[in-house]
Amino acid sequence: MIRLVPQPQIIKEKGGFCKSNEMICVKNMSFTNKDAYRIVADEKITIYAGDERGFFYAQKTIKQLNALYGESIPRCEIEDCPVFSYRGFMLDCARHMIDFDEIKKFIDLASDLKLNKFHWHLSDDQGFRIELETIPELTEKGSVRNGDNFGSMCKSDKPYGGYYTKKQIAEIVEYCKERYIDVIPEIDIPGHSSAILHVFPELSCKKEPVEVKMRQGIYKDNFCIGNADTFEFIKKLLDELCDMFPYEYFHIGGDEAPNDYREDCPLCNNALKENGLKNFNELQCVFSNKISDYLKTKGKKAIVWNDILKGKKLDSDIVIQRWMDKKNLAPEYANRGSKVIISDFSPYYFDYPYGMYPLQKVYSYNPLGNKVLDKNGRKNIIGTEAPMWTEFVDNPQRLEYMLVPRWFAFAENSWTEQKNKDYPSFKEATQLLTNSMTDFNVAPLCDWDMPKLKRLSDTASFFNKFLKK
């Protein structure tokens, strides 16, 4: 049986083998899904697709067939198209930078697995990582912290700094484009913004000095959302960034933004009154709506983490990324007609150890399985995303260990219909495919489905294993 990852929707095997070095491409097929393709592998191989994108995915399928069978591949017919149009991966390059070439390596792997959105987390409490022409002091000062204090895993007294140059960013955007991957930058506001506020403390509620943070956490310092200067600053930042990232979506964060300092802030309190709002969660929605409107003037749309739904005032055309949503506000938002991306932290946060989110748990997750979703809501789930946070990941070996093979399970969840999934055959195919990935530090097979970690201290000992490597 032919078994690929992600598994195509329909494979009819015809018996025997055929050479794969001669291909005929038939384009302009009227497939409704742009990612769809059909392969007829007979005497010769014929690929049918709507446009270049479908053709690209067909070639990825043939590449995997070659990896598994060699140049002669089984005679077959494959009809394929993805369940979701948005199949994303996030790399947090704020907590720890990921080497430029390492990012490219993961973009290559993502495209082999038919993922198509790279959410690039570039600003957080622990660093701002973009070269800017219009606000150079933000790059210079916001990209450096005094050390690392992320538990025993990543501890150092040495200053840590770095950013991606405009040239590097342009190269990554182009590299992705060649692989049909769109790049979505994230500037996390109004919370997780200590690195920016370190340079512009006057834009915080307290207006006091703010450090670029050295440890993980949720910090009370965040942008004053009642201050008109904050909005002007963000407009200026977006003016430069929108030119660097051509894709229509822009991520503006919105998660974990405590209101504590707003209570005593005259500007936030004024804004609350002026807008006739009940609380600061509503004010955060109004603030995000304004940024979303500004993005629209540039032909762009905003994505925001689901925390913002607490405020009940969010414009319905803002896309929500769901990560932790105990009250199921995101599925309700989808039911009402708005777009949602599923990144549920359990099991899609691959910074968590295998003992918590083993391969089978990741694989068996159904992104449309939430009970609150109705028929309309399911249609509004545009896709999935696997975020990779890097507080505890400061080297490529660890990054690769955490993501491979879990990206394979995630990719199949994002592309393949639930009814066509099967764990034992998936695991076997993933073993074969990852065996040949000699340039990656693939997690050893014994870790893929390691026994459940029961306590947080087990998690710590799991992480400590890396220190000994």
Residues that bind ligand ACM (CB under 6 A): 255-256, 305, 323
Paired tokens of 239: 């003016």
205 touches, from ligand ACM, Zn ion, none (C-beta below 5 to 8 Å by class)? Zn ion
- Distance between CA atoms of residues 434 and 441, nearest Å: 10
* Binding of Zn ion by 267 (CB under 5 A): yes
357 touches, from ligand ACM, Zn ion, none (C-beta below 5 to 8 Å by class)? none
Residue (79 or 255) nearer to ligand ACM, CB: 255
The residue assigned the tokens 């912290």 is 145
Q: Which of 205, 362, 399, 429 binds Zn ion (CB under 5 A)?
A: 205
Give the nearest distance from C-beta 353 to ligand ACM in angstroms. Answer: 16
Amino acid at 324: M
To the nearest 10°, the Cα dihedral for 369, 352, 191, 318?
-30
SS3 230: helix
* Binding of Zn ion by 189 (CB under 5 A): no
CB 256 within 8 A of CB 307: yes
What is the C-alpha R_g of the chain?
23
* Binding of Zn ion by 185 (CB under 5 A): no
DSSP for residue 49: E
The residue among 204, 338, 189 whose CA lies nearest residue 252 is 189
Residue (226 or 253) nearer to Zn ion, CB: 226
Instruction: Tell how many helices (H) and how many strands (E) occur in the chain.
Output: 17, 18
Residue (80 or 125) nearer to ligand ACM, CB: 125
The residue among 244, 341, 232 whose CA lies nearest residue 291 is 232
Part of the chain binding Zn ion (CB under 5 A), chosen from 36-44, 93-101, 218-226, 376-384: 218-226
Give the nearest distance from C-beta 254 to ligand ACM in angstroms. Answer: 9
SS3 96: coil
Part of the chain binding Zn ion (CB under 5 A), chosen from 69-77, 222-230, 296-304, 451-459: 222-230
Residue 260, Ramachandran bin (φ over 0: left; ψ between -120 and 50: alpha; else beta): alpha
DSSP for residue 306: G
Residue 409 belongs to what H/E stretch? helix 406-415
Residue 242 belongs to what H/E stretch? helix 228-244
- Distance between CA atoms of residues 4 and 68, nearest Å: 9
- Distance between CA atoms of residues 11 and 19, nearest Å: 18
Residue 418 belongs to what H/E stretch? none
Q: Which of 39, 49, 189, 268 binds Zn ion (CB under 5 A)?
A: 268
Burial class (CB in 10 A: 0-12, 13-18, 19+), 12: exposed
226 touches, from Zn ion, ligand ACM, none (C-beta below 5 to 8 Å by class)? Zn ion
* Binding of Zn ion by 226 (CB under 5 A): yes
255 touches, from Zn ion, ligand ACM, none (C-beta below 5 to 8 Å by class)? ligand ACM
Residue (8 or 311) nearer to ligand ACM, CB: 311
- Distance between CA atoms of residues 120 and 169, nearest Å: 10
* Binding of Zn ion by 224 (CB under 5 A): yes
Residue (231 or 345) nearer to Zn ion, CB: 231
Give the nearest distance from C-beta 315 to Zn ion in angstroms. Answer: 22
Give the nearest distance from C-beta 187 to Zn ion in angstroms. Answer: 19
> Which residue's CB comes closest to ligand ACM?
255
Give the nearest distance from C-beta 235 to ligand ACM in angstroms. Answer: 24
Residues paired with residue 39 on neighbouring β-strands, in sequence order: 47, 78
Give the nearest distance from C-beta 184 to ligand ACM in angstroms. Answer: 14
CB 414 within 8 A of CB 5: no
- Distance between CA atoms of residues 49 and 36, nearest Å: 6
* Binding of Zn ion by 265 (CB under 5 A): yes
Residue (111 or 222) nearer to ligand ACM, CB: 222
CB 357 within 8 A of CB 331: no
Residue (171 or 256) nearer to ligand ACM, CB: 256
Give the nearest distance from C-beta 228 to Zn ion in angstroms. Answer: 11
241 touches, from Zn ion, ligand ACM, none (C-beta below 5 to 8 Å by class)? none
Give the nearest distance from C-beta 253 to Zn ion in angstroms. Answer: 17
211 touches, from ligand ACM, Zn ion, none (C-beta below 5 to 8 Å by class)? none
Residue (37 or 350) nearer to ligand ACM, CB: 350
Residue (94 or 241) nearer to ligand ACM, CB: 94
* Binding of Zn ion by 93 (CB under 5 A): no
Residue 273 belongs to what H/E stretch? helix 266-274
268 touches, from ligand ACM, Zn ion, none (C-beta below 5 to 8 Å by class)? Zn ion
Give the nearest distance from C-beta 246 to ligand ACM in angstroms. Answer: 24
CB 340 within 8 A of CB 368: no
Give the nearest distance from C-beta 199 to Zn ion in angstroms. Answer: 18
323 touches, from Zn ion, ligand ACM, none (C-beta below 5 to 8 Å by class)? ligand ACM
Give the nearest distance from C-beta 123 to Zn ion in angstroms. Answer: 20
Binding residues for Zn ion (CB under 5 A): 205, 224, 226, 265, 267-268
